[in-house]
Amino acid sequence: MKTTALKNTTSWTKSDGDICTPKGFTAGGLHCGVKRKRKDLGWIFSSVQANAAAVYTTNLFQAPPLKVTQESIRIGETLQGVLVNSGNANSCTGQKGLENAYEMRRMFAYKIGLNEEEVAVVSTGVIGEQLPMLAIKQGVESITDVKSKKEAHFFQEAILTTDTFTKKASVELNYNGCILTIAGVAKGSGMVHPNMATMLGFITTDIHISASALNLALKQVTEETFNMITVDGDTSTNDMVLVMANGLAKNEVWTEHDDQFQLFKEGLKMVCESLAMQIARDGEGATKLIEVHVNGAKTKEEAQKIAKTIVGSSLVKTAVFGEDANWGRIVSAIGYSGVALTNEINEVRIGSTVVVKNGLPFPFNEQEAAASLKDEKIIITIGLDEGIQHAKAWGCDLSYDYVRINASYRT
């Protein structure tokens, strides 16, 4: 193991950057006609080949674009371009859908002068309809200045479906006098549930890191961030998180065997956690972000399982929406989480209000508890007496609007 001193590094700090902030990256978006009005075609370009890694939905019916992207990354573990359309998922579309995904890759590769396997393609939207390839072809042909335009805000808009706002995060690190950057954008509002990757995430960095280290870091960070959110329990057929590292910061290459690997993971986790929380807050029809903390579990996995079960409970979600401190629903979720507890639940808190102590109801002021539930962010804390492991999960409340939005999604 290398033991290069980290004394010249500082902590990662949040910044107002975007996916074009890391050196060598450009991006943009436009309206081509997949949707009626809003932007629906976006792209990312790196001026040099970038090491690439991705995590994909666990849904058995993976859409054709995912298969094409997996092939592109598998060939060389590098990418240089990404093309995304929204409004149509190109999912459950058979051989024709696969051919269209390959055609999207071919068109964009030709447009920007790359080999086809250097391009990833992504689609999101309505399932079961063929892509309007003429509209996409005209859209690709109308793209200009791919290698110079830095219009990350247009890309952020182009990937949205039922989202109510764009989502981005960026961090910087002063490393041996050089500024290193990791930045990301995401979309996600419905069909979001743990077990990756039930949304779209795109992360760019100028750090020089090996492909194997990048892949390992993304998988490990995903387990603590994107896999710890849920909106409605549905896992999409399409979505994924993709990270590209082009090395233009010119640092010595970092590998999974270096001390700097943990440093990279810290920055990547800050970006992914921020994006995950934004997705949870933007759950379809949501009015509140729910954050569940589980402390004192026997294992990390058990802590995660309990946290995800609570935040995924429809009854907990509706209680939060109704601003009702119904702690019984929280305890019930712990009970059916599948985690065997040796001891009584040490404590349950809703906001700062203790509602359960040593396995028994704890007297509390209903008005004070209800007042804390009026906040936009609701923190539920579970204290166990099983060990020292902990975990966090994020979700949202379940409102009337969730039903309205999804009842009319195709119309």
SS3 content of the chain, % helix, strand, coil (to 5): 35, 30, 40
pLDDT over 90 at 296, yes or no: yes
CA-angle at 280, arms to 389 and 151, nearest 5°: 120
Task: Kindly state the percentage of the chain with pLDDT values over 70.
Answer: 90
Choosing from 198, 222, 230, 237, the catalytic residue is 198
Domain positions in the chain: 14-281, 289-407
pLDDT of residue 3: 39
Q: What's the chain's average pLDDT?
A: 89
What topology is assigned to 289-407 in CATH?
Answer: Ubiquitin-like (UB roll) (3.10.20)
* CATH no. for 14-281: 3.60.70.12
pLDDT of residue 330: 96
Mark whether 13 is an active-site residue. Answer: no
Other C-beta atoms lying within 10 Å of the C-beta of residue 408: 8
- Number of residues assigned to the chain: 411
pLDDT over 80 at 57, yes or no: no
Listed range (179-193, 248-262, 308-322, 394-408) with the worst mean pLDDT: 394-408
Q: What does the pLDDT average to over 211-223?
A: 95
Q: How far apart are the first and last CA of the chain?
A: 57
Digit-coded pLDDT (tens) for 235-283 = 555 678 999 999 999 999 999 999 999 999 999 999 999 999 898 887 6
pLDDT of residue 405: 65
SS3 label, residue 297: strand
SS3 label, residue 254: strand
Task: Report how far Cα 152 is from the mean position of its chain's Cα atoms.
Answer: 17
Digit-coded pLDDT (tens) for 94-147 = 999 999 999 999 999 999 999 999 999 999 988 889 999 999 999 999 999 999
Digit-coded pLDDT (tens) for 300-334 = 999 999 999 999 898 999 999 999 999 999 999 99
